[in-house]
């Protein structure tokens, strides 16, 4: 029991919601290349705070989850992109833009589309440790005209046309009152060893709010037409993957893969991506959840109001949310089933974030929890994916109720290679042995 709880702490203190993507030497793989993911709380991260304890980092990560879910709630309104919460960027990705190339560290986000960076001249910019990108010093920078496809790909509420120059502008305001405004342009991007010409991005001249000063803007990895992975398209065969693996030292790292990941002997579970608005988010269908051998159908708990919104059994796969959020009525049933299955003393999380929690100074038999997705994809989650030791003598369930949106968070995705095929419209989960993948 002690070793199991030690492993929980080791995994969760290092593999929580925010990671740092750092390009050292991109690793060539068949039909693609990979970059390292470094946890934001790793000693290698510029955001590392040595004064924080393991449990501080756990609670901070969970609080970021509750903040992040607000970005998905306006999905039923027209201004999908503009009402998101920027606080707590989940990953940072280092890319280079322009000619000559300028290194940029931006928030890498599977829940955003448009890539934007802070640019000169800056009417208003948040503090940034690195120099601002100066488009006048790049020989490959090109303005985008109004009425063109790149401009029209923006949501109408985010698109502005400069009547004097006929150039395309964008304007995003985030739910926490952060904002970015600037020009839509084309520019050369260098990702690891590979250069891609004429990618659409936003050159932000007026930006502010709660963005971290170690980064510059956002690298959009969502499913919309302006996202980086959609623009790369055939260059990466419409594929990308990430592996959020357990590690307990700064010498280990996870990976983000552009293109096709190398083959594995492990059994892969594949589920269809659901086409929904907004196209930014990656939706799949959840059919049931099993606790051990007890299967709980998910659809029977879908409320009529949720169904009217078109949600039904859809759940968003999001690498940037730590916790997994489930429809409230279903969560209550799942919670009751867990309490029956786990023969341990119930205790309360003193900060009131998670439930149920159990006393951890005894031999606890924590069950395997299986998510049954559409297309027959059964994803078996081990206790490391579903429970966290929040104090020395307390272990808690890391899934929480939601009245609006279901999200499959990154704790549930750890120790899997999560692979997206945007051409076939699928997402796959392959169990990984990290020591054999690097």
Residue corresponding to tokens 């990430």: 242
Q: Using H for helix, E for strand and C for coil, what is the string for the chain?
A: CHHHHHHHHHHHHHCCCCEEEEEEEEEEECCEEEEEEEECCCCCCCCCCCCCCHHHHHHHHHHHHHHHHHHCHHHHCCCCHHHCCCCCCCEEEEEEECCCCEEEEEEEECCCCCCEEEECCCCECCCCCCCCECHHHCCCCEECECCCHHHHCCCHHHEEEECCCCEEEEEEECCCCCEEEEEEEEEEEEECCEEEEEEEEEEEEEEECCCCCCCCCEEECCCCCCCHHHHHHHHHCCEEEEECCCCCCCCCCEEEEEECCCCCCCCCEEEECECCCCCCCCEEEEEEEEECCEEEECHHHCCHHHHHCCCCCEEEECCCCCCEEEEHHHHHHHHHHHHHHCCCCEECCCCCCCCCEEECCCCCCCCCEEEEEHHHEEEEECHHHHEEEEECCEEEECEEEECCCCEECHHHHCCEEEEEECCCCEEEEEECCHHHCC
Active site members: 109, 318
Residue corresponding to tokens 């030292």: 249
Q: How far apart (Å, rounded) are the C-alpha atoms in residues 159 and 182?
A: 10
């Amino acid at each position: 029991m002690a070793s199991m709880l030690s492993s929980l702490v080791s995994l969760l203190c290092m593999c929580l919601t925010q990671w740092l993507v750092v390009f050292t030497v991109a690793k060539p793989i068949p039909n693609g290349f990979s970059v390292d993911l470094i946890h934001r709380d790793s000693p290698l991260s510029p955001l590392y705070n040595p004064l924080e304890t393991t449990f501080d980092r756990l609670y901070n990560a969970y609080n970021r989850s509750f903040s992040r879910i607000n970005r998905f709630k306006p999905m039923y309104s027209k201004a999908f992109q503009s009402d998101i919460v920027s606080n707590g960027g989940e990953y940072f990705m280092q890319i280079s833009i322009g000619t000559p190339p300028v290194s940029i560290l931006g928030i890498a986000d599977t829940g955003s589309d448009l890539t934007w960076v802070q640019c000169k001249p800056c009417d208003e910019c948040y503090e940034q440790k690195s120099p601002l990108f100066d488009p006048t010093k790049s020989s490959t920078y090109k303005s985008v005209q109004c009425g063109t496809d790149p401009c029209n790909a923006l949501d109408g509420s985010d698109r502005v046309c400069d009547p004097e120059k006929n150039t395309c502008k964008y304007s995003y305001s985030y739910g926490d009152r952060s904002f970015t405004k600037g020009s839509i342009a084309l520019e050369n991007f260098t990702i690891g060893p590979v250069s891609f010409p004429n990618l659409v991005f936003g050159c932000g001249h007026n930006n502010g709010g709660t963005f971290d000063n170690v980064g510059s803007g956002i690298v959009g990895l969502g499913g919309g037409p302006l996202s980086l992975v959609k623009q790369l398209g055939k260059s990466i065969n419409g594929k990308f993957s990430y592996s959020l693996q357990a590690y307990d030292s700064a010498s280990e790292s996870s990976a983000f893969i552009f293109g096709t990941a190398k083959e594995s002997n492990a059994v892969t579970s594949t589920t269809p991506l659901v086409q929904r608005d907004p196209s930014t988010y990656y939706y799949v269908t959840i059919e049931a959840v099993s606790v051990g051998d007890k299967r709980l159908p998910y659809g029977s708990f879908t409320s009529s109001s949720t169904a009217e919104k078109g949600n039904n059994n859809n759940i968003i796969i999001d690498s940037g949310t730590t916790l997994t959020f489930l429809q409230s009525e279903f969560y209550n049933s799942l919670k009751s089933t867990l309490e029956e299955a786990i023969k341990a003393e119930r205790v309360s999380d003193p900060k009131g974030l998670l439930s149920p929690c159990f006393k951890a100074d005894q031999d606890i038999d924590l069950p395997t929890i299986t998510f049954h997705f559409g297309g027959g994809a059964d994803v078996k989650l081990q206790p490391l994916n579903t429970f966290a030791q929040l104090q020395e003598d307390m272990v808690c369930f890391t899934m929480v109720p939601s009245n609006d949106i279901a999200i499959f968070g990154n704790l549930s995705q750890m120790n899997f290679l999560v692979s997206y095929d945007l051409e076939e419209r699928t997402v796959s989960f392959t169990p990984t042995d990290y020591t054999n993948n690097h």
